[in-house]
């Protein structure tokens, strides 16, 4: 089944580190689908925002096992993130709608 571009890029990430990378280095960070690859992320980004990315880096963050107060254990969710590098002249608006 072919995924649409909105199925590949799930949500932008607004952490402190992602905001600094956006301001200083013109990079955007997104949460992506677990089967997404660099070419599919680049195509989806270009389809949504109309800007061709310079580079795409993929990060797999494995969930970790944590201990509860009552002695039990739980597993945090694994995530896949993409950092999209843009040219200096590219300007996109990624805002959090509340």
Sign of CA dihedral 11, 46, 83, 56: positive
48 located within any domain: yes
| Averaged pLDDT for residues 5-30 | 90
The total of structural domains in the chain comes to 1
Confidence of residue 5 (pLDDT cuts 50, 70, 90): confident
Quick: pLDDT tens for 64-73.
999 999 999 9
pLDDT of residue 47: 92
- Give the contacts of 27 (CB within 8 A, at least 6 positions apart): 21, 83, 84, 85, 86
**CATH, residue 65:** 3.30.70.330
pLDDT at 96 over 70: no
Quick: pLDDT tens for 31-64.
999 999 999 999 999 999 999 999 999 999 999 9
Which residue range forms the structural domain that includes residue 67?
5-85
91 located within any domain: no
Q: How many degrees, rounded to 5, is the angle at CA 26 between CA 36 and CA 80? A: 25
63 located within any domain: yes
23 located within any domain: yes
Nearest C-alpha neighbor of 80 from the set 59, 54, 96: 59
């Amino acid at each position: 089944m072919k995924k649409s571009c909105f199925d590949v890029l799930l949500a932008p990430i607004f952490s402190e580190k992602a905001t600094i990378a956006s301001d200083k280095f013109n990079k955007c960070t997104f949460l992506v689908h677990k089967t997404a690859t660099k070419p599919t992320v680049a195509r989806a980004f270009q389809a949504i925002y109309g800007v061709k990315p310079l580079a795409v880096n993929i990060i797999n963050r494995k969930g970790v096992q944590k201990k509860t107060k009552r002695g039990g254990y739980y597993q945090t969710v694994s995530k896949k993130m993409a950092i999209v590098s843009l040219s200096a002249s590219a300007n996109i608006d990624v805002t959090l709608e509340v």
